[in-house]
Every structure is written in C-alpha cells, then in structure tokens.
C-alpha cells in the first residue's frame, strides 16, 4: 500500500511547499503596499456568452496595468499586461480573489481567480459580433479593460494554431523552449516563421469573421509577451489559450498534451457549427493530437496544416512525429509545407483559399 500511494504524495508535498512559499511572499507584498490587480488577457465568446481571461497579481498601486480599447479588427495590445520576461515568473499571483465584471460600466457578475490567480470564467452577455471591451475590477474604484472577440454566429470556418515552432521560432532544444519563452529579456529575439502571417491574413480575408485562436503549452505568465509578438509580426489577433505554471496536488507539472486536447474539445463544443483549420508542426506532438481530435470530431475539422521543420529544427525539437502514418483515417485533408507560402498553395489546392 505504501508503494501505491508514494507517487501521489510527492506532488502533494510540492504543492503544499509552493503554497507555503507563496504565503510568505504574500505577507511581504502586502507589507510593501502592493494590492491585487488584474493583468487582462484577450477573451472570446458568442453573442450570448464570453470567456473572460486574465490573472490577478499583487501590483504596485501606480502600476497602471491596463488594456487599450480595441481599434477596429486589430486591437492594439501593446499595453496589455506589461509584465514581461523573467519578471512574469517572479510576479506574485492572488489566489481565490473576487473580480467584478462590468460591461459598459454596469456590473454584470463576480468571478473568482483560481489557485494560480488565473481568471477563466464564462459570463452571460448580449453582445454583437466583433471586438468588445469588458472591465475587470478588484477594488472599490478603477479597473482594467480586457479585449474580447465575439465570434459571428454565421461563421463556419476558424483557425486553431499552435505557437512554438509553428508561428514562432526559438531555435532551441525543446526542453529549453519553455525557459526561453519564460525568462528571456529581449522578446524581439523571437522570430516569426516565414510566410505564416501572410497565410493567416489570406485565410481571414477568404473567410470573413473566422475566429483565430492560439493554443499553446506555454504558461499564462507569458501571454502578454506572446500577444505583443502576434501584433508585432502582423498575425491576426486572437485569444491565447495557455496553461498554468508549477506543481498541482496530482503531478509535478501540468500535461501540455492534455491541455491542448481539452481546449480543442472545448472549442468543438462551444462552436459546434465551425470547421477548424488546425495548424501545427511535425515536431513530436501536434500531428498525433490533431489526428486524435479529427477522429473524435471529424465534423469540426476543415483540414490539418502541418509546418515541416528543417532537419536542424527537428533535432532541436526532439525528433519528428510518427503520426503522419495515421493521417487521412478520418477523411480530413492534411497538407504539409516548410513555410507559410508552401502551405498557402497546398490549402489553395484543396479549396480553402
């Protein structure tokens, strides 16, 4: 019996140690006059509901973490959560803290952050399709604006995109990618995959109103930096669905594969009429994940587009996936290419462009 319980006891101990360390830091933050504040992330939804995303952190009262008003089809997000680089992981989250949600200045509901300070809640609304701004408030006054994209209910096509090695190049071994994205100071060192912004731009132009959602195994801490990467490289703006950081009561670290599958299945349920173009790379996991999703939800997949890594990139990524042997079983078309220009021609050949 002892051996049976031992694997579970270590993650629980790590989680308790993490909570103890956090409590000590929390006392110091309060003593220095820091107050709970919200770092808003881009949310999404339908005319009847929105998914509000953000994180509650202890911030200086003069930090002024705000999100700019959406401006047309491409909201300016430069000021969305200026917590960046290694500071993102030294910031102190506020667990289980109430947050008021206001629309047009009127309180709508109250939500609560989770153990890691993350806000991830569904809020009933009545909004027109397009970009909107909701206000998230932790104190008696003020608040921060969070951009939200409301999908057009008539949309029948959307894009779900991976981030690392698909649209963003780090040229580092896979085990170091998370550390790079987390702790690098100069975020301009991240480069975009050639042709991918143009590909996405053409897809959105060909399918007006198509939602664009980025799903990554990265931590919520780097969401502001990734949003600035999207804007700087002219990718269509959209929500980033990331995961939390640190140990849980069940395991040392969260499973990136389970996170992606969970988010894919959720999007299929939330938008049952949308057929998604799934974009990823052939470095280890994306092909297998998309294959499994296409088998479970063939009616929700328009096609799968896989960016082929170079030999050097594949070595850094830990090798290539073997899932290509299973493609086509669900009847969903798959296309391959080393860059956005090649993928664009391949998607044109199957009628998506």
Does residue 140 surpass a pLDDT of 50?
yes
Tell me the CATH number at 146. 2.60.40
Q: Is residue 18 part of a domain?
A: no
Does residue 84 surpass a pLDDT of 50?
no
Indicate if 126 and 208 belong to the same structural domain: no
- Least confident stretch, 100-109, 187-196, 312-321: 312-321
Average pLDDT of the segment spanning 195-202? 97
Indicate if 219 and 97 belong to the same structural domain: no
Cα 181 from Cα 113, distance rounded (Å): 24
Say what the pTM is.
0.83
Maximum average pLDDT range among 24-38, 138-152, 177-191, 308-322 = 138-152
Q: What is the pLDDT of residues 241-264, one digit of tens each?
A: 998 765 544 544 556 688 899 999
Does residue 29 surpass a pLDDT of 70?
no
Tell me the CATH number at 234. 3.40.50.1000
- Least confident stretch, 224-228, 239-243, 319-323, 327-331: 319-323
Q: Residue 14: pLDDT band by 50, 70, 90 thresholds?
A: low
Indicate if 45 and 185 belong to the same structural domain: no
Select from 119, 150, 181 the last residue of a domain.
150
Indicate if 180 and 114 belong to the same structural domain: no
Question: 59 or 160: which carries more pLDDT confidence?
Answer: 160
Question: 343 or 16: which carries more pLDDT confidence?
Answer: 343
Q: Is residue 12 part of a domain?
A: no
Q: What is the pLDDT of residues 41-80, one digit of tens each?
A: 999 999 999 999 999 998 877 655 544 344 344 454 444 4
Indicate if 200 and 316 belong to the same structural domain: yes
- Least confident stretch, 211-220, 293-302, 306-315: 306-315
Q: Is residue 21 part of a domain?
A: no
Maximum average pLDDT range among 84-93, 115-124, 167-176 = 115-124
The overall average pLDDT reported for the chain is: 80
Q: Is residue 165 part of a domain?
A: yes
Q: Is residue 5 part of a domain?
A: no
Does residue 95 surpass a pLDDT of 60?
yes
Helix axes 256-270, 286-296, angle to 10 degrees: 30
Cα 224 from Cα 324, distance rounded (Å): 34
Indicate if 82 and 161 belong to the same structural domain: no
- Least confident stretch, 17-26, 271-280, 322-331: 322-331
Q: Residue 165: pLDDT band by 50, 70, 90 thresholds?
A: confident
Give the pLDDT score at 295.
92
Q: Is residue 173 part of a domain?
A: yes
Q: Residue 90: pLDDT band by 50, 70, 90 thresholds?
A: low
Indicate if 217 and 301 belong to the same structural domain: yes
Nearest-CA neighbor of 45 among 95, 120, 136, 140? Answer: 120
Indicate if 190 and 307 belong to the same structural domain: yes
Give the pLDDT score at 186.
55
Select from 150, 182, 203 the last residue of a domain.
150
Select from 87, 115, 150 the last residue of a domain.
150
Q: Residue 32, class by beta-carbon neighbours within 10 Å (0-12 exposed, 13-18 middle, 19+ buried)?
A: exposed
Give the pLDDT score at 5.
41
DSSP characters for 187-248?
A: GGG-EEPTTHHHHHHHHHHHSTT--EEEEEEEEGGGHHHHHHHHHHTTPPP--EEEE--S--
Q: What is the pLDDT of residues 211-245, one digit of tens each?
A: 999 999 888 888 888 888 899 999 999 999 998 76
- Least confident stretch, 24-33, 67-76, 134-143, 306-315: 67-76
Indicate if 317 and 207 belong to the same structural domain: yes
Contact 116, 86 (CB under 8 A): no
Run of H or E residues at 258 = helix 256-270
- b/e per residue, 221-236, with b = 16+ CB within 10 A? bbbbbbbbbbbeeebb
Domain count, the chain: 2
Indicate if 207 and 258 belong to the same structural domain: yes
Indicate if 72 and 102 belong to the same structural domain: yes
- b/e per residue, 194-216, with b = 16+ CB within 10 A? ebbbebbebbbeebeebbbbbbb
- Give the distance between the most distant pair of CA atoms in the chain: 62
Q: Is residue 8 part of a domain?
A: no
Give the pLDDT score at 291.
92
Q: Is residue 142 part of a domain?
A: yes
What domain range is 44 assigned to? 35-150
Indicate if 112 and 180 belong to the same structural domain: no
SS3 call for 311: helix
Cα 214 from Cα 211, distance rounded (Å): 10
């Amino acid at each position: 019996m002892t051996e049976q319980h031992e694997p579970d006891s270590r993650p629980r101990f790590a989680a308790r140690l993490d909570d103890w360390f956090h409590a000590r830091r929390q006392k110091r933050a309060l003593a220095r006059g820091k107050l709970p504040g919200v770092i808003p992330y881009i949310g999404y939804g339908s005319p009847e509901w929105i998914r509000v995303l953000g994180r509650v952190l202890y911030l200086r009262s003069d930090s002024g973490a705000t999100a700019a008003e959406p401006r047309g089809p491409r909201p300016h997000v430069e000021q969305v959560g200026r917590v960046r680089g290694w500071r993102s992981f030294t910031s102190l989250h506020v667990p289980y803290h109430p947050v008021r949600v206001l629309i047009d200045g009127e309180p709508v509901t109250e939500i609560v952050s989770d153990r890691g300070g993350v806000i991830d809640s569904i809020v009933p609304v009545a909004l027109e399709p397009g970009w909107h701004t909701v206000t998230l408030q932790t104190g008696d006054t003020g608040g921060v604006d969070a951009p939200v994209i409301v999908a057009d209910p008539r949309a029948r096509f959307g894009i779900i995109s991976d981030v690392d090695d698909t649209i963003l190049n780090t040229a580092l071994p896979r085990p170091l990618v998370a550390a790079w994205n987390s702790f690098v100071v100069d975020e301009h060192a991240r480069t975009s995959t050639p042709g991918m912004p143009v590909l996405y731009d053409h897809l959105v132009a060909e399918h007006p109103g198509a939602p664009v959602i980025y799903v990554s195994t990265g931590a919520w801490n780097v969401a502001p930096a990734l949003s600035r990467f999207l804007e700087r490289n002219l990718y269509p703006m959209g929500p980033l669905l990331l995961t939390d950081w640190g140990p849980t009561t069940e395991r040392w670290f969260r499973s990136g594969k389970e996170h992606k599958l969970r988010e894919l299945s959720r999007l299929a349920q939330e938008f049952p009429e949308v057929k998604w173009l799934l974009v990823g790379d052939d470095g280890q996991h994306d092909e297998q994940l998309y294959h499994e999703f296409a088998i479970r939800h063939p009616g929700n997949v328009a096609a799968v587009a896989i960016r082929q890594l170079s030999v050097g990139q594949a070595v850094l990524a830990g090798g290539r996936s073997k899932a290509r042997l299973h493609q086509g079983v669900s009847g969903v078309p798959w296309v391959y290419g080393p860059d956005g220009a090649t993928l664009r021609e391949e998607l044109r050949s199957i009628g998506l462009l």
